[in-house]
Amino acid sequence: MKISELYAPTLREVPAEAEVISHILMLRAGMIRKAASGVYTFLPLGYRIIKKVIQIIREEMDKKGGQELMLPIIQPAELWMESGRWHVYGDELFRLKDRHGRDFALGPTHEEIITDLVKGDVRSYKQLPLLLYQIQNKYRDERRPRFGLMRGREFIMKDLYSFDKDKEGLDISYQKMYDAYSRIFTRCGLKFRPVEADPGAIGGSGGTHEFMVVADSGEAAIVYCDTCNYAANVEKAEAVPVPVDTGEAVKEMQEVHTPGARTVEQVTEFLHIGPEKLIKTLIYRTETETVAALVRGDREINEIKLQNLLGSVQLELADEQTVQEITGAATGFAGPAGLQDIRIIADTEVMEMRNAVTGANKTDTHMINVNPGRDFTADLTADIRMVRAGEKCPRCEGALLEARGIEVGQVFKLGTKYSEAMGAKYLDENGKEKLMVMGCYGIGVGRTVAASIEQNHDKDGIIWPMPIAPFHAVVIPVSVKDQKQTELAWQIYNSLNDSGVETVIDDRNERPGVKFKDADLIGFPLRVVVGSKTVEEGVVEVKHRRTGDISTVGVNEAASVIRKIVADELAESMPGA
């Protein structure tokens, strides 16, 4: 490919809405363009990278026995009603009607379609297990599309669905995908961590891991152990209770006047106590009830844990008026003692507290010496708090560290959630009808590309890992007006392409500085400069983008030296069998 003909319009300035470096660099390097909020066109360079990632995914899926198919993007609403998700999925589902007024959705994920397909064709245990996948556009009307390919409304996903006879079979399929994902992200040159995660809207109860690329720009917070391999999304991370034992005797509960002290800081300052003496009482509303959730004053509530515990679809803090109706007081003065008509959900640590401070359900008033068990009881006691760095690991004696992560993939044990709702059954060895046991496994292709840039760039541009680079090398003749230089450059270019090194030639009549800048921006792993020295001394300059190392190589060796670097780096990226 000649750069003079390549459709890769590089930009000096990017729109202010591009906040993260991957978005900025892909726009600047002429790899993507925005068509609408969260909807992007891939230009040729961008699409080459996408295809490389897809190819790696495809190879690893096939190796595990995955069979590629293609499911429709337009999905009938009936299937979504059958699974119960037509209503649950909410505004994120792109809905449309056909000319007859029938409802459809643009597929945000394909559990419904594939379960319906398989239940129609699979009758016997002999046809299981099945691993079926596709690589295709997905549609989600995200509330906040942003960060370019990272969170789009139209994006490419690989989704695989496993169908097994039983739980044991699912465990095997899940492990296969877990291993394949580890290989895929290794091959893409990413530093990643699989973490335990919350199932969210996809559902299922069998367990799930997210594959997180560690990057400061990541939207997810993760914790991981400094000693063992425990790692989890903070949404899911298990808290180890640390009771505060002051050795105090139990005292009589007493009302105190605390004018204007609503927040933890205000109350602790007013009463000269530490936040660990306080019980925070938060009033939440779900679609069916109002509840009071209790956590210690030095902790934060984990709304995902609370929502899972309650089994609700919605959960939000109650408004001022509801708080007033339930507690008889303004927000900031709620407490569990004497609270009536609503369920009280306490964090495990709360029930261990002694002589605690709570709101008194009376404006400008708190209670001191509140003792759980004596002064109030909880309807449910469970881990409902956030875990923070420095806390003890739930699996070993180690301590937890915190990092930001980009979720590039997720593996789910769905169990029988969809097969039950949609009646996907098979006949077992004894002719008995059983439900298929399912798993689902997604990888965001564009997000993986963006995550790679977040980890691999410098002030000049992108530094592609060899396996996903749009081209392996660029050949730059310093002066295209010099016929001898041009001739030698073409010679090396042809020789590289002939031997399978994907190479472009920068044949533009531009200053060398401009060409070097573009080469660095686009991020070709290797740059070969053909200049006057090439003509006079028979040597070219080879620059390695990642290390910055420059070496001088004889014209006749150049192609084989580069071929070897490319082959070595591709081989190195391959994890062991």
Residue 39 vs 81, nearer CB to ligand ATP: 39
Q: Which phi and psi (to 5°) does residue 528 adopt?
A: -115, 120
Q: Is 142 in the site for ligand ATP (CB under 6 A)?
A: yes
Burial (CB count within 10 angstroms: exposed 0-12, middle 13-18, buried 19+), residue 111: buried
Q: Is 497 in the site for Mg ion (CB under 5 A)?
A: no
Residue 202 vs 380, nearer CB to ligand ATP: 202
By Cβ distance, which residue is nearest to ligand ATP? 444
Q: Which phi and psi (to 5°) does residue 262 adopt?
A: -110, -45
444 binds, among ligand ATP, Mg ion, none (CB under 5 to 8 A by kind): ligand ATP
Cα–Cα distance measured from residue 104 to residue 93, given in angstroms and rounded to the nearest whole number: 10
Instruction: Enter the tokens of residue 546.
Output: 């990642």
How many Å is the Cα radius of gyration of the chain?
29
CB-CB contact of 77 with 103 (8 Å): yes
Q: Is 407 in the site for ligand ATP (CB under 6 A)?
A: yes
Residue 440 vs 453, nearer CB to Mg ion: 440
CB neighbourhood size of 211 (10 A) = 26
Residue 134 vs 410, nearer CB to ligand ATP: 410
447 binds, among ligand ATP, Mg ion, none (CB under 5 to 8 A by kind): ligand ATP
Name which position in 160, 180, 408, 437 contacts ligand ATP (CB under 6 A). Answer: 408
Name which position in 119, 151, 183, 515 contacts ligand ATP (CB under 6 A). Answer: 151
446 binds, among ligand ATP, Mg ion, none (CB under 5 to 8 A by kind): ligand ATP
Q: Is 448 in the site for Mg ion (CB under 5 A)?
A: no
Cα–Cα distance measured from residue 488 to residue 541, given in angstroms and rounded to the nearest whole number: 13
Place of tokens 């068990």: 373
Nearest approach, Cβ of residue 260 and Mg ion (Å): 43
- β-bridge pairing 67-68 and 130-139: parallel
Residue from 406, 346, 407 nearest 371 by CA: 346
CB neighbourhood size of 269 (10 A) = 11
408 binds, among ligand ATP, Mg ion, none (CB under 5 to 8 A by kind): ligand ATP
Convert 458-483 to b/e letters by CB count within 10 Å (16 or more is b).
eeebbbbbbbbbbbbbbbbbbbbebe
Name which position in 409, 415, 439, 461 contacts ligand ATP (CB under 6 A). Answer: 409
Q: Which amino acid is at 556?
A: N
Q: Is 384 in the site for ligand ATP (CB under 6 A)?
A: no
Nearest approach, Cβ of residue 407 and Mg ion (Å): 6
Nearest approach, Cβ of residue 394 and ligand ATP (Å): 23
Nearest approach, Cβ of residue 52 and ligand ATP (Å): 17
Name which position in 1, 157, 466, 473 contacts ligand ATP (CB under 6 A). Answer: 157
Residue 38 vs 477, nearer CB to ligand ATP: 38
**DSSP symbols for 20-52:** SHHHHHHHHTTSEEEEETTEEEEPHHHHHHHHH
Instruction: Enter the tokens of residue 392.
Output: 């003890």
Name which position in 447, 472, 527, 545 contacts ligand ATP (CB under 6 A). Answer: 447
Nearest approach, Cβ of residue 51 and ligand ATP (Å): 17
Pure H helices in 259-317:
264-271, 303-310
- Spell out the residues 6+ positions from residue 188 whose beta carbon is closer than 8 angstroms to its own: 53, 56, 448, 452, 465, 467, 468
Write the DSSP symbol of residue 195: E
| Part in contact with ligand ATP (CB under 6 A); list of ranges 93-101, 147-155, 272-280, 294-302 | 147-155
502 binds, among ligand ATP, Mg ion, none (CB under 5 to 8 A by kind): none
Residue 204 vs 477, nearer CB to ligand ATP: 204
Cα–Cα distance measured from residue 71 to residue 374, given in angstroms and rounded to the nearest whole number: 59
Site for ligand ATP in 180-239 (CB under 6 A): 200, 202
Residue 210 vs 347, nearer CB to Mg ion: 210
Cα–Cα distance measured from residue 281 to residue 375, given in angstroms and rounded to the nearest whole number: 14
| Part in contact with Mg ion (CB under 5 A); list of ranges 6-14, 288-296, 404-412, 554-562 | 404-412
Name which position in 335, 442, 470, 477 contacts ligand ATP (CB under 6 A). Answer: 442
Name which position in 162, 268, 410, 419 contacts Mg ion (CB under 5 A). Answer: 410
Cα–Cα distance measured from residue 546 to residue 523, given in angstroms and rounded to the nearest whole number: 9
Site for ligand ATP in 96-115 (CB under 6 A): 109
| Binding residues vs ligand ATP (CB under 6 A) | 109, 140, 142, 151-152, 155, 157, 200, 202, 407-410, 442, 444, 446-447
Binding site for Mg ion (CB under 5 A): 410
